[in-house]
Amino acid sequence: MSWSKDDRDGPRGYHHGNLKEALLRAALELIAEKGPAGFTFAEAARWAGVSPAAPYRHFRDRDELMANVALRGFQQFEVALRRAWDGGRPDALTALDRLGKAYLGFARAEPAFYSAMFEAGIPMSASPELRDAGERAFTVLRETAETLCAQMSPKGRPPALMVALHLWAMAHGVASLFGRGDAARRSLPMSPEELLEANTLIYLRGLGVPTMPSAPQR
């Protein structure tokens, strides 16, 4: 991770120096442009300024490249979610709102990562690293759910795992139906962020989590 030279200064000399990274970046670029299907091994090589045979030094095939993109995606996703959640500070509700916005923000800002992670049909079993990275990202949601559940009265408290899955499904549902940058995005009378926030709040109220942290309103 200590590349003294700028990754960007192209293939100087015979050896590229950082072709693997360049190919991953090329894939991201191409996926973002034309969807997860619209990118080829040869095109990635061309984009990186390298012969079509060169990628085989780093990836067995297209799928392995794709799985690597997904892996990176989950790693960045985890960082983004964890930063947004920030240990639930200053309170769980505020942090949860940030988390939701971070989720949608990631899907919108990194459509290539998002589709490689969730839509390209790459099985999580493709590699242990991939599975692990996926688990780690989900762990943020799980911790969130645990914090929320801890605020509920012990009787009738639902399993935190289920709550985490619900949060995930709601966020993914909104992101994938309305939060994408591509042409297939549905139009909405409100922003995806507002829609998800409302959905989450109503859900929390249903759980019995207090949703009015400061001003007593009733």
Which residues are within 8 A (CB) of 25 and not within 5 positions of it... i.e. 6 or more apart?
Answer: 7, 48
Q: Cβ distance 150 to 207 under 8 Å? A: no
Stretch that binds a copy of itself, among 11-19, 73-81, 89-97, 123-131 (CB under 8 A): 123-131
Sign of the alpha-carbon dihedral angle for 72, 75, 78, 79: negative
Q: Indicate which of a copy of itself, DNA, none lies near residue 124 (CB less than 5 to 8 Å, by partner kind).
A: a copy of itself
Q: Which two tokens stand for residue 133?
A: 């990275």
Say what the alpha-carbon torsion angle 171, 177, 179, 185 is, to the nearest 10 degrees. 180
Q: Does 165 bind a copy of itself (CB under 8 A)?
A: yes
Task: Tell me whether residue 21 or residue 63 sits nearer to a copy of itself (CB atom).
Answer: 63
Q: What's the min distance (Å) between Cβ of 1 and a copy of itself?
A: 29
Q: Cβ distance 167 to 161 under 8 Å? A: no
Site string for a copy of itself, 53-92 (x = CB under 8 A): ----------------------------------------
Q: How many helices (H) and strands (E) would you count in the chain?
A: 8, 0
Task: Tell me whether residue 105 or residue 173 sits nearer to a copy of itself (CB atom).
Answer: 173
d(CA 166, CA 101): 16
Which parts of 47-106 interact with DNA (CB under 7 A)?
50-54, 56-58, 61-62
Other Cβ atoms closer than 10 A to 3: 9
Q: Which of 14, 183, 187, 214 binds DNA (CB under 7 A)?
A: 14
Q: Which two tokens stand for residue 189?
A: 């009378």
Q: Does 154 bind DNA (CB under 7 A)?
A: no
Residue with tokens 């509920």: 152
Task: Tell me whether residue 45 or residue 197 sits nearer to a copy of itself (CB atom).
Answer: 197
Q: Does 37 bind DNA (CB under 7 A)?
A: no
Residues that bind a copy of itself (CB under 8 A): 35-37, 118-125, 158, 161-162, 165-166, 168-174, 176-178, 182-184, 186, 188-190, 195-196, 198-199, 201-207
